[in-house]
Structure 1
Amino acid sequence: LAGWTAKHSVRIRGYLHPPVAGTYVFTSCGHVDLYIGLTHLASSSHQILSPTSTCSDAILLQAGTSYFIEAVCTSGDDDCVVQVGWHIPDGTHIEVISGSYLSPYNRYQEIPAAHSVLSGLSRRHPRVLASAYDFAVLRDRIDQEEQIAEFYALIKKQGMEFLEQPLPEYTYTDPYSFNIAGCANQLIQMMETLGFIYNIESVDGDLDLALRCATRAWIELEAASHFMHWDTEHFASTPRMAHAYAMGYDWFYNAFTPERRAVIRNAIIELGIKKYDEELDRGPFGWHQWTVMKGNWNCVINGETGIAILAVAGENDYLSEDVLHKLLVNTRNFSMLTYYPDGGTKESPSYWKFKDDFFLPFFPALETAVGTDFGLGAVKGFVESGLHPIYAMGPSGQFFNYSDGGLKWQATPGLMYLSRTFNKPLYAWAYRDRFPDSVSVRSVLWYDSRGSKDELLNLPLDQYFSDAEVVYLRGAWDDPNSSWLGFAATDNWDFIHGQLDQGTFVFDALGQRWAADLGADNYGLPGYWDKNTGGIRWKVYRIRAEGHNTLVINPGSTHEDQHPMVKGKMIDFSSVGNHPFAIADLTDAYKQNGALRVRRGIKLIDRCALLICDELQLEYPSEVWWFMHTQADINIAANGRSAILKQGGKQVEVSLLAAPESARLIVMDAERLAASPGSTPGELGAKGYRKLAIRMVDVTDIHLAVVLVPEGVPAVTHSQICKLSAWHS
């Protein structure tokens, strides 16, 4: 291996197939650490060679058995040489093991029977996310690499801040009155940060600092170990706390006495793992529906409980085997479907961050603890999921925040893990580019310096995520003033964060967001999660169709202005040339409101101007509204057929190019229509936003075309407007 410009390590993995049974002696040259497994599992491996010990002891191997083998070459030279030979039992010495005795490493395995899921368990701690060997490598890199040393200095600074915080006071008797999830979030960060420092400093480092970290970790963990429970009613908090305790137990295992380990282990098992098992047995009712839900809730509960099991496994193998097997099956059947088939997410890209924090770490934890992810990482769409936040970020620096999503892209170090594990250097570059100053334990554990902007520029400009039913179109990757839009057909029902937002869109141009989504409302609103027909959720303005950039047909005819239990569908998508487009069939969402056919097309003309085209066939003369929320100033022309939007010193012209004769653009407050259900006390509202709207009355067949043209872009003419059926011509 040649062409390296700095000190580096290369890891080569595979399976060894001995030709005959007997004792083997391995030899090496170069800077090679060689590990061989007792079985085919990576977690069963032990070191047999090092750069200073180039001839191994005799090792008994069986013919017909596959053994995991790994060579790690660390070098400061331009070239890295890995050469391993062996003496086979008949006395023959072979300088280089032939490829006929080797096969490629396969990290994917099917989920085995319960009694076998822990067969590859490493009996050493730490083993969750990182092993003692991983920390040893990091110690060397901190000593020898300036960038890693700087990262570690920042982690130590974060650790000192934790050490200087006031000691915890967990004195309440009613966990429901206390924000356990918030407490657990901080506790996870604290255990990872202090645990990282402990494992770096406890070997030939600052032993006093290591002791301080371990002491503080025990104080924190002991304090909450006496809770009656970890909020089992909502249950999302329960695995969060188990996750925090697992990191403390595993990363400080060698610092704690057996008695202290027992206290922490008992809390993990009794308050976490057993409660998870009870949840699975209880069935999918009420707050327990996560057990059969394809969404982030299922993901994070499985991922965090999985980390807890891996931390304490070996102490109670029957419990651990049984529950881990159930968890792996549930993860395969439900959690992994949130990624299928192309990595998109129904719950908006901001919830990718939630899975990045609390589900994705389960995968490296499996690899370090048992040597395999049991094929979960091979599920179609998992690796591609790193593309969604990249496409979903507009030039304005904001996400497309459909469903209950947020606008900001927060640090997602899981992109580093995906990059390193699946050879996706674009993800590593995207993380470093987006978060140049963000340093965390995970970003250092998974740090990948590869990737460049060139890989971004080589991506297609447009993308359709089929299960999420979301399309992104853009003018360019490297122009902050380029046009970009997100368009959603979505699913109103089949996940917990669904809104009545089929057909909604957001639009960026000139570095500004002109068409905006209001995002989620207050999660604490009474009835916010009531998704039954007529449920309170469907009366909240930000959830309703009238609170989005879509259509409302015959307002007041039903409680819901879109049907809450249907899914829209993109029926056409084209990324060819300079006029990319997508067309959605929204008919099912509006049937209850008198619609026979509703289709919306979105096109980026010359990859600059936005065209929104709606075609409706209605059962009877109807009232139809077209809405677009914006924070821009709106100036409507005297004829009502055009408007100028101004924002951030830029402007966009809106024109009504096809519409019923009486249709006019109007400006409205971002509030519910008079015919809509009343507001729910505590709603966030839409302060700072207004609505550009079109009202059409007594209509049965509509062809509506609205175009948004950024300043400096040629105007769109009537001749460029045609029926959706002709968009391909």
Structure 2
Amino acid sequence: MHSVTCRHYIKNNSMLFIAMCCSILAFSQTIDASKIKEHPRLLLLQDEEKLIRNNISKSPDWQKIHLAIITECNEILALPPVERKVIGRRLLAKSRESLRRIFFLSYAWRMTRELKYFRKCEEELLAVASFSDWNPSHFLDVGEMSLAVAIGYDWLYNDLSEASRKQISDALISKGIGPSLTENKDTWWLKGTNNWNQVCNTGVAFAAAAVYELQPQRSKEIIERSIKSIRLPMQVYSPDGNYPEGYSYWAYGTSYNVFMISMLETAFGSDYGLTGMPGFLKTPVYYEHMVGPSGKPFNYSDCGTGADGLQPAMLWFADKNNDPSLLWIEKQNVSKDRFLVKSNRLLPAAMVWGKNIDFEKVTRPTQRTWVGDGENPVALMHASWQSTWDLYVGFKGGTAGTSHAHMDIGSFVMDALGVRWSADLGMQGYEAMESKGLKIWDMVQNSDRWKVFRYNNFSHSTLTVNNALQHMKGRATIMKHSNDTTFMHAVMNLDEIYTGQLASARRGIAIVNKQYVTIRDEIETGDSACTIRWAMLTPASVADITKNQMLLQQQDGNKKLTFYVNGLPGDAVLKTWPTTPPNNYDEENPGTILVGFEITLPAHTKKEFNVFLMPGTKPIAVKKSSLKPLNEW
């Protein structure tokens, strides 16, 4: 993972952002230490278990989640303690497994008071406390382990022996807090603006709050520093709640940010102004709209292809905003038992933050479009939230020059008939590339990063000019958009993305009358002729193909979609390209192909074309409005 500093932020607002960063770095925060609670003080106070038990007794949904956690705890009981094993440069897998075990077990202990959970949790705590260190050279490992040990120590505190308390608290101080005290190459995240800041600051602040009585002055300074520092990445939510690193890293960075706020509220009775940071309480709408009716997220940047399952942070946001409609996707996750207990290490937080939530009162969202500015602008459009037959489009602008970005500018995903038609390959495991010597965090035009097939524009549903990479310092902006259900659309200016390749590039995507999707491109060549490839990545197979139309199908032919191009030049035909990995470090991409066409245009030529994605096989009359110039959209 890579540090993203002020210089990577929005080109047009760079001076403003730098000024905001400088203002935050000069910000002074003082906490009222006299208000600190007794143990347990982190997330769930003494006797608040009864609120969760009450929820469980009244709601089959909450009972399901609780039983899923307890059942998993019973499996954890039989496992040997986590061992210190570094993979490449990361201890992160072990930190995350420790967090999962300790959080689950300490929850089970507080809810059931069964000693087997206490003893196993204590065993896990003592095991990681005995590690030589928590790998500060990759500080995320320290951040996650600190959160794990702080919660376990605090939630078991009143029943731990003096010897266990000392061994665990000593580890929090020496292995969690200690490595963060010196500003060096390992603590760059203190001035960073991405998820590292959120995760590391939260973990260290939890450690400080957990051992507060043992070193009150230093703990106070650490927590105040964390409140000040975490404001830097919180700036990226302004103005609309957009998160530039995408869906998966929203779940990571934002969840830790919520943990930070929740800890401050329970331990000190105040969030010290963090909740009110511009755009922060708007961000759950972005996250909810990022999931299509296929159940898959818009997985741009380094994002997985699957949904995250039940997201605890969304319960916190729904409660803070008093908006049950934010939980429409989460309600479906609960009804389908998508708890992901083997990987969702934060799941007990759902029980904590959801103690005032009644899933029966969750309502369907009414907002069909979500458009967010910021470092990576996106437009997210639902024709309806009624069912899995909903049409859905996610459309991305922004830049490849930000944290975890791909050269996917102008790309889109599209769902219809309950499945995904235009897709994204998503992330690739970092260790596989790093072990081959690739410098994937060097964010420059000729970086090794752009040799990776999943990262460059050759694998995305976008335009490629003269078989060249997109211009990574460019940024695509949303020119206009509309939530009119007869022609729901967004238009992006891609000029900077093709600097030196095209004189002009515009792309608009619309859902027309809730029936079909159209993608319109308007391009102008520069001083030389160029070949333009229009491509869409799809998990579908091609059932039939003619000059300007192909029939795509999925699920053994039970789901079909017509791909039709209006404006294709006479010498161009539709074609497919394989997604076979071109390099030995690239991951396989089974079950996917690229579909589209190539055209060669002379210098100083304007050209436009519309691609139509029409669900089913029945002919749909193309509305004239679908063929209008983008300036008339």
Which of the residues 404, 429, 451 maps onto 2:302?
404
In the other structure, the counterpart of 1:574 is 482
In the other structure, the counterpart of 2:6 is none
Residue 304 of structure 1 deviates from its aligned partner by 2.0
CA–CA distance in structure 2, aligned partners of residues 698 and 178 of structure 1: 48
Matching residue's letter, 1:304:
G
Aligned length: 586
CA–CA distance in structure 2, aligned partners of residues 714 and 253 of structure 1: 66
Which of the residues 239, 250, 259 maps onto 1:341?
239
In the other structure, the counterpart of 1:205 is none
In the other structure, the counterpart of 2:192 is 293
Alignment pair present for 1:622 and 2:526? no
In the other structure, the counterpart of 2:446 is 534
CA–CA distance in structure 1, aligned partners of residues 34 and 619 of structure 2: 62
CA–CA distance in structure 2, aligned partners of residues 343 and 270 of structure 1: 36
Alignment pair present for 1:682 and 2:585? yes
Matches within 5 A, 1:507-586: 507-524=414-431, 525-526=433-434, 527=438, 528-556=440-468, 561-586=469-494
Q: Deviations over 1:158-197 (max 9, x none)?
A: 3322222234455x6xx56686322222222222222223
Matching residue's letter, 1:464:
V
Q: Give the TM-score taking structure 1 as reference length.
A: 0.75
Which has the higher mean CA deviation after the structures are superposed, 409-418 or 133-142?
Answer: 133-142
Equivalent residues of 1:660, 1:702 under 8 A apart:
no
Alignment pair present for 1:127 and 2:32? no
Give 3-state SS (helix, strand or coil) of 1:432's partner: helix
Distance 1:352 1:435, change over 3 A: farther
CA–CA distance in structure 2, aligned partners of residues 624 and 345 of structure 1: 31
Distance 1:610 1:396, change over 3 A: same
Q: Deviations over 1:188-229 (max 9, x none)?
A: 222222222333445xxxxxx23x333322322222223332
Distance 1:191 1:167, change over 3 A: closer
Matches within 5 A, 1:52-71: none
Residue 464 of structure 1 deviates from its aligned partner by 0.5
Equivalent residues of 1:296, 1:355 under 8 A apart:
yes
Distance 1:415 1:698, change over 3 A: closer
Q: Deviations over 1:87-133 (max 9, x none)?
A: xxxxxxxxxxxxxxxxxxxxxxxx9956x424244241000011113
Alignment pair present for 1:237 and 2:148? no
Which of the residues 95, 98, 102 maps onto 1:187?
98
Q: Deviations over 1:140-165 (max 9, x none)?
A: 66678877666555443333222222
Distance 1:145 1:635, change over 3 A: closer
| Alignment RMSD | 2.6
Equivalent residues of 2:392, 2:414 under 8 A apart:
yes
Which of the residues 649, 653, 675 maps onto 2:562?
653
CA–CA distance in structure 1, aligned partners of residues 361 and 457 of structure 2: 38
Matching residue's letter, 1:194:
L
Alignment pair present for 1:587 and 2:587? no
Give 3-state SS (helix, strand or coil) of 1:643's partner: strand
Q: Give the TM-score taking structure 2 as reference length.
A: 0.86
Q: Deviations over 1:591-626 (max 9, x none)?
A: 03x222111111111122111111111212111111
Which of the residues 147, 151, 155 maps onto 1:247?
151
In the other structure, the counterpart of 2:76 is 162
In the other structure, the counterpart of 1:392 is 290
Q: Deviations over 1:257-311 (max 9, x none)?
A: 2332122111111111121232xx22xx6x7553333322222122222222211
Q: Deviations over 1:53-100 (max 9, x none)?
A: xxxxxxxxxxxxxxxxxxxxxxxxxxxxxxxxxxxxxxxxxxxxxxxx
Residue 724 of structure 1 deviates from its aligned partner by 0.8
In the other structure, the counterpart of 1:260 is 164
CA–CA distance in structure 1, aligned partners of residues 606 and 478 of structure 2: 21
Give 3-state SS (helix, strand or coil) of 2:511's partner: strand
Runs of 5+ consecutive residues of structure 1 not aligned to the other structure: 1-110, 203-208, 673-678
Equivalent residues of 2:532, 2:600 under 8 A apart:
yes
CA–CA distance in structure 2, aligned partners of residues 487 and 143 of structure 1: 43
Alignment pair present for 1:353 and 2:251? yes
Equivalent residues of 1:188, 1:243 under 8 A apart:
yes
Equivalent residues of 2:104, 2:348 under 8 A apart:
yes
Distance 1:144 1:685, change over 3 A: closer
Which of the residues 716, 719, 722 maps onto 2:628?
722
Distance 1:152 1:403, change over 3 A: closer
Matching residue's letter, 1:248:
G
Which of the residues 386, 398, 407 maps onto 1:490?
398
CA–CA distance in structure 2, aligned partners of residues 134 and 454 of structure 1: 23
Distance 1:494 1:143, change over 3 A: closer
Residue 713 of structure 1 deviates from its aligned partner by 5.7
Give 3-state SS (helix, strand or coil) of 1:254's partner: helix
Q: Which has the higher contact order (CA 8 A, sep 6+)?
A: 2
Equivalent residues of 1:313, 1:320 under 8 A apart:
yes
CA–CA distance in structure 1, aligned partners of residues 598 and 80 of structure 2: 59
Equivalent residues of 1:413, 1:442 under 8 A apart:
yes
CA–CA distance in structure 2, aligned partners of residues 168 and 155 of structure 1: 19
Matching residue's letter, 2:289:
Y
Which has the higher mean CA deviation after the structures are superposed, 294-303 or 508-517?
Answer: 294-303
Matching residue's letter, 1:122:
I
In the other structure, the counterpart of 1:461 is 368
CA–CA distance in structure 2, aligned partners of residues 132 and 454 of structure 1: 29
Which has the higher mean CA deviation after the structures are superposed, 219-228 or 268-277?
Answer: 219-228
Equivalent residues of 1:429, 1:449 under 8 A apart:
no
CA–CA distance in structure 1, aligned partners of residues 65 and 333 of structure 2: 17
Runs of 5+ consecutive residues of structure 2 not aligned to the other structure: 1-25, 342-346
Alignment pair present for 1:642 and 2:553? no
Give 3-state SS (helix, strand or coil) of 1:596's partner: strand
Matching residue's letter, 1:609:
Y
Which of the residues 331, 334, 339 maps onto 1:432?
331
Equivalent residues of 1:581, 1:601 under 8 A apart:
yes
Larger Rg: 1
Equivalent residues of 1:296, 1:338 under 8 A apart:
no
Give 3-state SS (helix, strand or coil) of 1:653's partner: strand
CA–CA distance in structure 2, aligned partners of residues 169 and 473 of structure 1: 46
CA–CA distance in structure 1, aligned partners of residues 296 and 204 of structure 2: 32
Distance 1:369 1:702, change over 3 A: same
Matching residue's letter, 1:381:
G
Which has the higher mean CA deviation after the structures are superposed, 192-201 or 512-521?
Answer: 192-201
Residue 452 of structure 1 deviates from its aligned partner by 5.6
Which of the residues 212, 223, 240 maps onto 1:324?
223
Give 3-state SS (helix, strand or coil) of 2:98's partner: helix
Equivalent residues of 1:482, 1:608 under 8 A apart:
no
Residue 139 of structure 1 deviates from its aligned partner by 5.6
In the other structure, the counterpart of 1:703 is 608
In the other structure, the counterpart of 2:177 is 273
Distance 1:635 1:154, change over 3 A: closer
Give 3-state SS (helix, strand or coil) of 2:499's partner: helix
Equivalent residues of 2:575, 2:597 under 8 A apart:
yes
CA–CA distance in structure 2, aligned partners of residues 613 and 149 of structure 1: 49
Matching residue's letter, 2:584:
P
Matching residue's letter, 2:444:
N
Equivalent residues of 1:130, 1:368 under 8 A apart:
yes
Which of the residues 126, 130, 141 maps onto 1:226?
130
CA–CA distance in structure 1, aligned partners of residues 490 and 56 of structure 2: 50
Distance 1:269 1:407, change over 3 A: same
Q: Deviations over 1:452-484 (max 9, x none)?
A: 687324x22111022231111222111322211
Q: Deviations over 1:471-499 (max 9, x none)?
A: 1122211132221111101221122x111
Give 3-state SS (helix, strand or coil) of 1:435's partner: helix
- Hey, which of these two has a bigger chunk of helix by percent? 2
Residue 391 of structure 1 deviates from its aligned partner by 1.1
Residue 369 of structure 1 deviates from its aligned partner by 0.4
Matching residue's letter, 1:657:
N
Residue 418 of structure 1 deviates from its aligned partner by 1.8
